[in-house]
Amino acid sequence: MEKIKLTIDGMAITADRGKTILEAALDNGIYIPHLCHHQDLAPAAVCRVCLVEVEGRGHTISCRTPVEEGLTISTESDHLNKIRRIPVELIFANHDTDCIACTRNNNCQLQRVASYLGLERDSMDRMRMGNIEKPIDTSNPFFDRNPNRCIYCGICIRTCDEIQNINAIDFASRGYKMTVSTFGDNPIADSRCESCGECVVRCPVGALSPKTTMEPSRSVKSVCTYCGVGCGVELGVRGNSVVSVEGDRDNAVNHGSLCVKGRYGFEFINHRERIRKPLIKKNGKFEESTWDEALDLVAKKFREYGKEKVAVFSSAKCSNEDNYVIQKFTRAVLGTNSIDHCARL
Amino acid sequence: MNSSAGKAGKGGKVVKLKINFDEITIKANQDWKELQSAKKPVILVGTATCGRSAGSLETLEALRHEIKLAGIDCEVIEVGCIGLCYAEPIVCITKPSQPVVCYGDINPAKAKDLVDNYIIGDDPVAAYALGTLGDGSINGIPRLVDTDVFKPQVRRVLKRCGSIDPTNLNHYIATDGYKGMNKALGMDSKGMIEEIKKSGLRGRGGAGFPTWKKWQFCNDAPGEQKYLICNADEGDPGAFMNRSLLEGDPHALVEGMIIAGKAIGATKGYIYCRAEYPLALERLDMAIEQAHSHGFMGKDIMGSGFSFDLKIKEGAGAFVCGEETALIASIEGERGMPRPRPPFPAISGLWGKPTIINNVDTLASVSLIFQNSAEWFAEYGSKDSKGTKNFALVGKVKRTGLVEVPLGITIREMIYGIGGGILNDKEFKAVQTGGPSGGCIPASLIDTPVDYDSLAQVGSIMGSGGMVVMDEDNCMVDVARYFLDFTQKESCGKCVPCRLGTKQMLDILDDITQGRGKPEDIDLLEEIGFSVKRGSLCGLGQTAPNPVLSTIRYFRNEYESHIVHKKCESKVCRDLISYSIDQEKCTGCRLCYSACPTNAITGDKKKPHSIIQYECIRCGMCLEKCPPKFNAVQCIPGQIITERS
Amino acid sequence: MLAIGTNTTKAHPVIALQLKAASRNGTRLIVANPKEIVLSRHAEIVMQQKPGTDVVLLMAMMKVIVDENLQDQQFINERTENFDEFKKSLNTFGIEYAEKITGVPGETIIEAARTFATTKPASIFYAMGITQHSHGTDNVIAVSNLALLTGNIGKPGTGVNPLRGQNNVQGACDMGALPNVYTGYQRVDNPDVKKKFETAWGVELNGKNGLTHTEIFDDAYNGKIKAIYMVGENPILSEANAHHVREAIEKLGFFVAQDIFMTETSILADVILPGASFAEKDGTVTNTERRVQRMHRAIKPVGDSKPDWWIAAEIAKRMGGKGFEYAGAEEIFSEITSLTPSYQGISYGRLEHGGLQWPCPTTEHPGTPILHTEKFPREGGKGKFMPLVYRESAELADKDYPLILTTDRSLYHYHTSTMTRKVEGLELLDSEELLIINPEDAGKYGISSGDMVVITSRRGDVRSKAKVSGECPPGVISMTFHFAETPTNDITNPALDPVAKIPETKVSAVKIRKVV
């Protein structure tokens, strides 16, 4: 990849050809305020806060302008702040600012931009407040859509289009009345949405928020347990419970993408109906037993029937190690090759 | 017929081309001459949309009826708009060996008079006449070109509007039509672009970008497939230049597009026109079909090897779709939202291919340049703004209409010359040029020349040619609010400054005009306006604050008066005026008393009445009802505060 | 790309993302599926063949390719054998014949053939829509013939890609959870292999192939099998002709089920052993592209549950088995790699940095993303063209059973839904079986969306709500098997493919009536 040399705020940096000024800056640890940019998506250039000054060109939208050899860029000036401060103040004038009640509190791009620009209550109060009591769409079992926190960056729409190719949502209506809408403005649950949650993950503010929002205390890498694609997951754990699943961006299979089952189908792990103890049927009813009692019973019965009378089903849901031990047991102990699993179903 | 001629072989190509076009021209001229030198009277009725809304279809019907009753052999032709909106419906009558007489305000009754007196009889009814067309004059009817309306005008683009049958291709051809195309087919791109460069033509759509430069970019852009788009999405409130031209002379655009297509190497063109222009669309459809059947369009035009096709794309009337990239998105079937530039459409436009978008007037001017010459075109105009330009002159002038003037004419000449001055001889206050994206120019700058650069200098733009004249009764804060209300509603919503900024500014203006303004609001408007202009993604947002910023610049006192004194001096903003009854003059006739919808008027019969201010909604009914002989009710700027007891 | 017999957006959503993205970026996509699926929207050419006619469709495409000389002759000459024999077998698959059998317009087949043959590289994706047939092996051979014919094997962007259903179905096969092979497909009837494992495990081993899935139930039914140890399966919902499975299990002397939940099957067990879920285990799984990946234990096993390997090892030890004293999953994995050439170079340490695709014979080997780049794993190393004839599905629509039932899956549920129906949100999004029926058929039977319908085959009947939709062509209805309330596999056809022993769940003749 060809390297381009440029200067940002007096620092000489290099970037791959094709990168935008914003990407080059972020890659080099220089923050330029931005709201509608997302690394996985094509630039939209709609929030207009990522303005920078390019020598010889004046103010320029950095998320859309590719780097060029020898560009001299400054990310900070009174002139820039004068232009980009207003859009942010305007967003706040139309935003439910009850941040404590928001799932994105402290992890919010809007908060970050506001603090970068030094916005204060007073300066926001000079604006006329917009309507922040629009109805919230709670129809999806996994996430809510709150238009009062929406900044109309279009990241959800672009995700659904560019990454998922589903196009369940798009902008509807014009100007100030513009909304993010499903076809016919139906609740999201009655739309084409497949609940993959990719938009929820990318929402830079709290407009799309998962319904269960327990913050995990640690995260563990594993592999999704559903289909054969083998997506990498990061299980969010709190105590002895799995409370969230996120796609593993480092995984070569899915690069962070997940489907609805992978992302939201984890409730079964700590489900109350999990079998917690060995069960032995006595007089037609299951009774809890100890491992020793159950295992001894099984071993005794298998021994009684002997070779060729016992068959084994292993599981395509179990690990390689499980399957290996089960087939080894079948062959080495039961003395039969009658082992199979549901590969054909 | 011509496409098969083109296939005849390389050898005969040039000869064939000449023969074909000449043949067509000869036939067209015959047709045209026959009409001119007819032994029977010819009646032209302006039935463009403007005429129709003034009742020209009824007039037409009446004329036909009367002629039939009288049993006279007479030709009645529907034509486009001649530009005299204030005098619609307009009828022109030609009698053998007489000059054409143009009549205004012809309702069905007057139509009967005309038939009785001039078609049957020989009295040209001078009382109804506006003037004669052409050189001759009769019976004291002046030549139209000598009248104040026409004298400052140079009608070139509009020359056929109102004088030819727009549905008859022969009329167009006989008046130099398709001569430009015929010339262009024998030229190469370089020569054609050079010709446009020499003419000094600048885009008639708004910003005035040199047309040749745009073409050159597109011509230089790599790619096999290129597109030409005509932006006929006229969206400014009060503007109708394009509509009139499309209705009155559709071939002027079609020809211009063929020429432009040839110059930039586009084989496919689109006309993006709003669906609210049904007549224009119908005329365009017909013109395209006629061009096809005469071999002016399609494969291998007139054996030149150049192929070109036109498609009409109807827009749904979104103002933002007049913005080039939004227009492209709309043609592609996407939501009409602008796309960031670069890339510019000339490099990557429709479906990612190099695309030129020109305005209707621009392309019609292209036809003219090729029908005549670059030098001829540049005869008129100022140093950097060549040629003539159409304007829709509307608002508080005596004579509204569609006018064509050489660039460089002053605002004064337009308003007081062509427009005949301010309606009811009131005080001229300001003129808004360039529609909602433009600015207000105050009376003090009335001698500003109308050209791209002079208008920009005073904080406005040429735009597509809207010119709204305002007088002392217009409140400039209200005017700014009106235009902003429009752009705010028409903002596509894509980028933050435009979506929220225009709304915020409108909210502030609403507050100011309703008496809730705060002293710091003027600065805040300027601050937001600055950010919206600089920060917005497309031309709509980048110009939306102009009406506000220019009115603040020239009429700051009106803003202050609204905010500080809660007064609307022009007596427009309802919340900042009051009505009162002069106790001396009031006779207690009770007319106002019974008209008041809120029972805000008290007083005994035959005794002076008075208004309870806190009940008054300032509807003005009392003023309207008060007989002029008493003239007791007055409207005054400012609020009269009285406490509810 | 050709996607045949796979409803990818539902069954393999994340792979579907990649297919859709490729199509958006200009890759030409051909979809062949009896149903109109979501992926069809992204395709350039869509073929809706009648269920069970894939061989005809593919062979007809290949005849077009050969007739028009569009095959990759160089590849055929250098890397394959038996082309001439195969070419002869194409003769019966003329375009009119194909149109008649498959119901796909002849021109579409021709267009698809030309597109596939002339666009390089090209790859083929298939899933259960190809395999779950009484002639599933023929279908797979047809797919492989097409890849050989067009030289689309062993190069980037080519290949035959079966999309595997379960997260570790590849791994279970790799590990020898099959009646005929040990790990890494080492045959049990090969004396050398037998010897190797006897040495490693220190026991004498059985050299005779065991029974397959369906055969085990048959033998249980016949009384030859007396006890079954079943880990993580729910055949009462998943197996074709599930009635038969239930009866077979009921005849057993002893039935042990090992699972994380009580299921329709485990409830029949004499002993239930609580296994641990994936989140509670260390270990590895192998995905559909042979990528071995590491699972890390996130939480300790819920309740008293135990990893499945631990349970099997405990039973083994109590039966006197030697060599089952494992300290943990990693130790087992080392034993696997020592006995399995294709896994030899893989270790937990290496997997920490991302998965590895087998074959990975040495600790330096980077893994093998593409198979058969130079030779095929056959004697002589050449790919063999296999002549084919069309064999009809075991059941065709007839007077008594006029409709064809095919099975499909929902995006929101997984297999027998043992896990997904425990997730409240998924249950809300998709809570009951919906029989998909074409408006034309629905009209014939007076069925509207939401009506209850009884579906009857020669094996029994089930009830389901109907959804009238053009997704299914006339004459074909489709159901999932996610819902115990509507055990679709009670009525599907257990007719087996003679080689792969896979049941024909994709084609069953049925009749329907509305419940009034």
pLDDT for position C376: 76
Q: Is residue C370 domain-resident? A: no
The CA distance from C233 to C213, in Å, is 11
- Number of structural domains (chain A) is 4
Q: Is residue C365 domain-resident? A: no
Q: Do C99 and C113 share a structural domain?
A: yes
Q: Is residue C364 domain-resident? A: no
Within an 8 Å CB–CB cutoff, is residue A175 touching chain B? yes
What are the structure tokens assigned to C277, written together? 């879920």
Q: What's the length of chain B?
A: 645
**Stretch among B134-148, C40-54, C281-295 having the lowest mean pLDDT:** B134-148
Residues in chain B with CB shorter than 8 Å from the CB of A87 are: 496-497, 500-501, 531, 535
Q: Is residue C483 domain-resident? A: yes
CB neighbour list of residue C301: distance below 8 Å, 6 or more residues apart: C276, C280, C281, C307
Listing DSSP states for C317-341 in one string gives HHTT-SS---SSHHHHHHHHHHH-G
Q: Do A103 and A66 share a structural domain?
A: yes
Touch criterion met for C and B (3+ Cβ pairs within 8 Å): no
Domain of C410, in residue numbers: 403-514
Tell which of C122, C148, C163 closes a domain. Answer: C163
Chains near B, with 3+ CB pairs < 8 A? Answer: A
Residues in chain C with CB shorter than 8 Å from the CB of A268 are: 260-261, 277, 418-420, 422-423
Within an 8 Å CB–CB cutoff, is residue A64 touching chain B? yes
3-state helix, strand, coil split of chain A in percent (to 5) is 30, 20, 50
- Number of structural domains (chain C) is 3
Domain of A298, in residue numbers: 275-305
Q: Do A70 and A40 share a structural domain?
A: yes
Average pLDDT rounded to a whole number, residues C60-70 = 90
* A325 with C309: Cβ contact below 8 A: yes
The CA distance from B589 to C386, in Å, is 110
Please give the backbone phi and psi of residue C8, each rounded to the nearest 5 degrees, phi first. -60, -40
Q: Which residue among C179, C260, C307 sits closest to A340, beta carbon to beta carbon?
A: C179
Minimum distance, in Å, between the CA of residue B341 and any CA atom of chain A: 9
Q: Do A316 and A242 share a structural domain?
A: no
Minimum distance, in Å, between the CA of residue A169 and any CA atom of chain B: 13
Q: Is residue C242 domain-resident? A: yes
Q: Is residue C155 domain-resident? A: yes
* A274 with C261: Cβ contact below 8 A: yes
Q: Is residue A153 domain-resident? A: no
Q: Is residue A68 domain-resident? A: yes
Residues in chain A with CB shorter than 8 Å from the CB of C315 are: 295, 298-299, 302, 329, 333
Q: Is residue A198 domain-resident? A: no
DSSP designation for B546: H
Q: Do C178 and C151 share a structural domain?
A: no
Within an 8 Å CB–CB cutoff, is residue A94 touching chain B? yes
Q: What's the length of chain A?
A: 345
Q: Mean pLDDT, chain A, as a whole number? A: 91
* A176 with B494: Cβ contact below 8 A: no
Q: Is B475 exposed, middle or buried (0-12, 13-18, 19+ CB in 10 A)?
A: buried
Tell which of A125, A147, A171 closes a domain. Answer: A125
Q: Do C182 and C230 share a structural domain?
A: yes
Q: Do A326 and A257 share a structural domain?
A: no
Q: Do A284 and A262 share a structural domain?
A: no
CB neighbour list of residue B602: distance below 8 Å, 6 or more residues apart: B609, B610, B612
What are the structure tokens assigned to B128, written together? 């109804």
CA dihedral in degrees (A201, A202, A203, A205; nearest 10)? 90
Low-confidence spans in chain B with pLDDT less than 70: 1-19, 643-645
Within an 8 Å CB–CB cutoff, is residue B340 touching chain A? yes
Query: Mind listing the pLDDT tens digit for each residue in C435-494?
Result: 999 999 999 999 999 999 999 988 888 999 999 999 999 999 999 888 888 888 888 888
Listing DSSP states for B330-355 in one string gives HHTTS-S----SSSPTTTS-GGGS-E
Cβ atoms of B96 and B39 within 8 Å: the answer is yes
The tens-digit pLDDT sequence of chain A (345 residues) is: 789 999 999 999 999 999 999 999 999 999 999 999 999 999 999 999 999 999 988 889 999 999 999 999 999 999 899 888 999 999 999 999 899 999 999 899 999 999 999 988 777 788 999 999 999 999 999 999 999 999 999 999 999 999 999 999 999 998 899 999 999 999 999 999 999 999 999 999 999 999 887 889 999 999 999 888 899 999 999 999 999 999 999 998 899 999 999 999 898 999 999 999 999 999 989 999 999 999 999 999 999 888 789 999 999 889 999 999 999 999 999 999 999 887 665
- DSSP-based three-state secondary structure for A63: coil
Residues in chain A with CB shorter than 8 Å from the CB of C273 are: 278, 294-295, 298
Q: Do C178 and C53 share a structural domain?
A: no
Q: Do A19 and A113 share a structural domain?
A: yes
Cβ atoms of C227 and C257 within 8 Å: the answer is no
Residue C276's pLDDT band, with cuts at 50, 70 and 90, is very high
Return the CATH number at C156: 3.40.228.10
Return the CATH number at A62: 3.10.20.740
Q: Do A296 and A249 share a structural domain?
A: no
Q: Is residue C306 domain-resident? A: yes
DSSP designation for B554: H
Q: Do A264 and A343 share a structural domain?
A: no
Q: Is residue C383 domain-resident? A: no
Q: Do A287 and A329 share a structural domain?
A: no
* A341 with C172: Cβ contact below 8 A: yes
Tell which of C163, C197, C230 closes a domain. Answer: C163
* Cα–Cα distances in angstroms (integers) from residue C483 to residues B197, B236, B349, B471, C432, in the given order: 75, 60, 52, 77, 7
* A265 with C414: Cβ contact below 8 A: yes
Q: Do C229 and C307 share a structural domain?
A: yes
Q: Do A261 and A284 share a structural domain?
A: no
Q: Do C190 and C142 share a structural domain?
A: no
Q: Do C276 and C307 share a structural domain?
A: yes
Q: Is residue A164 domain-resident? A: no
Q: Do C206 and C267 share a structural domain?
A: yes
pLDDT for position C482: 86
* C168 with A336: Cβ contact below 8 A: no
Listing DSSP states for B218-235 in one string gives HHHS--S--EEEEEE---
Minimum distance, in Å, between the CA of residue A191 and any CA atom of chain B: 19
Q: Which residue among C280, C286, C321 sits closest to A320, beta carbon to beta carbon?
A: C286
Within an 8 Å CB–CB cutoff, is residue B527 touching chain A? yes
* Cα–Cα distances in angstroms (integers) from residue C508 to residues C7, C132, C244, C292, in the given order: 19, 11, 16, 36
Q: Is residue A72 domain-resident? A: yes
Cβ atoms of A5 and A11 within 8 Å: the answer is no
* Displacement of CA A329 from its chain's centroid (Å): 41
Q: Is residue A56 domain-resident? A: yes
pLDDT for position A109: 94
Q: Which of B74, B53, B52 is nearest to B120 (CA)?
A: B74
**Count of A–B CB contacts within 8 Å?**
103
Q: Do C111 and C26 share a structural domain?
A: yes
Query: Mind listing the pLDDT tens digit for each residue in C168-224?
Result: 989 999 999 999 999 999 999 999 999 999 999 999 888 899 988 888 889 999 989
Return the CATH number at A247: 2.20.25.90
Q: Do C138 and C224 share a structural domain?
A: no
Return the CATH number at C339: 3.40.50.740
3-state helix, strand, coil split of chain B in percent (to 5) is 45, 15, 40
* A48 with B536: Cβ contact below 8 A: yes
Sketch out chain B's domains with CATH numbers: 42-146 (3.40.30.10), 173-378 (3.40.50.11540), 388-471 (3.10.20.600), 476-564 (1.20.1440.230), 574-637 (3.30.70.20)
The CA distance from C297 to C279, in Å, is 6
Query: Mind listing the pLDDT tens digit for each residue in C145-168?
Result: 898 888 888 888 888 888 888 889
Minimum distance, in Å, between the CA of residue A300 and any CA atom of chain C: 7
Residues in chain B with CB shorter than 8 Å from the CB of A154 are: 494
